[in-house]
């Protein structure tokens, strides 16, 4: 159920019996010479909409711009600063809680958002307003990713390329896959930007001249379909599990005994 397609009475019927919402989040950032800047938010929205369709749970509009300053040297990349991103997502989630939602899954497809979504979830949980948890699609199916790709790459690699070949092939520049692989980074087992245990890099361009990692020539639409189906099934399971949990069981646990000040 996509929230913007409903009328307010229909949404009233929903929150009278349900309290789960799915919030897709991604980015608008460079993904190399072969993938569009929309890659992350297309993947996030597609997974969220599909899981919502299969479960009947509510799906919100997508947050298309995320925390991406580490890609800023590449043309077109958009980003918001981390504090503003956290505040925006928290405010948006509190909007949902006002309408009766108290369990939220952030369907995320951008690594730069992860720690900030976790922080927002902690804030909301500590305030006992909602249980909001971040879900990253490729982290839900690591065995399949390893099975399909020799060098999957954390950004713009064959796993994201395969997903986009499945979801939005007309915007994939297939003629640039070889270029992406040859001029990107395919071996980061001994990176020059890690010295004496310190990660001395901050931006993507510090590691890869064309902004991508992994062997993009290993990508196919068929692999993308397998990734999409497997990740969607994991998301469906998460949503159904979350729906089954008593709200109090999702909230912070009490301080261990003895309680502070109990012996004063």
In a domain, 39, yes or no: yes
In a domain, 30, yes or no: yes
In a domain, 258, yes or no: no
The tokens for 86 are 């956290």
Residue 156's contacts (CB-CB under 8 Å, 6 or more residues apart) are 30, 31, 32, 34, 35, 39, 180, 184, 211, 212, 213, 214, 216
CATH code for the domain in which residue 172 is found: 3.40.50.10310
Structural domain of 48: 3-248
In a domain, 65, yes or no: yes
Q: Determine if the pTM surpasses 0.85.
A: yes
- pLDDT of amino acid 196: 80
In a domain, 236, yes or no: yes
CB 225 within 8 A of CB 168: no
- The tens-digit pLDDT sequence of the chain (264 residues) is 999 999 999 999 999 999 999 999 999 999 999 999 999 999 999 999 999 999 999 999 999 999 999 999 999 999 999 999 999 999 999 999 999 999 999 999 999 999 999 999 999 999 999 999 999 999 999 999 999 998 888 899 999 999 999 999 999 999 999 998 888 877 766 677 787 878 778 898 988 899 998 899 999 999 999 999 999 999 999 999 999 999 999 999 999 998 888 777
Q: Which of helix, strand or coil describes residue 57?
A: coil
Structural domain count of the chain: 1
């Amino acid at each position: 159920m996509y929230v913007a397609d409903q009328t307010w009475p229909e949404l009233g019927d929903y929150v009278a019996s349900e309290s789960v919402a799915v919030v897709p989040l991604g980015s608008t950032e460079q993904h190399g010479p072969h993938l569009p800047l929309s890659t992350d938010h297309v993947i996030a929205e597609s997974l969220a909409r599909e899981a919502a369709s299969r479960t009947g749970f509510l799906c919100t509009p997508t947050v298309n711009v995320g925390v991406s300053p580490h890609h800023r040297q590449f043309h077109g990349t958009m980003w918001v600063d981390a504090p503003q991103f956290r505040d925006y997502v928290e405010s948006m989630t509190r909007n949902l809680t006002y309408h009766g939602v108290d369990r939220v899954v952030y369907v995320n497809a951008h690594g730069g958002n992860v720690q900030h979504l976790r922080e927002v979830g902690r804030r909301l949980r500590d305030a006992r307003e909602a249980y909001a948890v971040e879900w990253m699609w490729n982290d839900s199916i690591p065995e399949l990713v390893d099975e399909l790709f020799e060098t999957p790459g954390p950004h713009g690699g064959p796993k994201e390329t395969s997903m986009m070949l499945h979801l939005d092939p007309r915007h994939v520049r297939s003629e640039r896959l070889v270029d992406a692989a040859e001029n990107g980074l395919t071996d980061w087992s001994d990176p020059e930007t890690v010295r004496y245990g310190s990660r001395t890099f901050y931006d993507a361009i510090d590691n890869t001249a064309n902004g991508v990692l992994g062997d993009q020539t290993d990508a196919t639409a068929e692999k993308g379909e397998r990734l999409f189906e497997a990740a969607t099934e994991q998301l469906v399971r998460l949503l159904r599990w979350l729906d089954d949990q008593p709200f109090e069981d999702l909230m912070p646990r009490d301080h261990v005994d003895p309680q502070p000040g109990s012996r004063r």
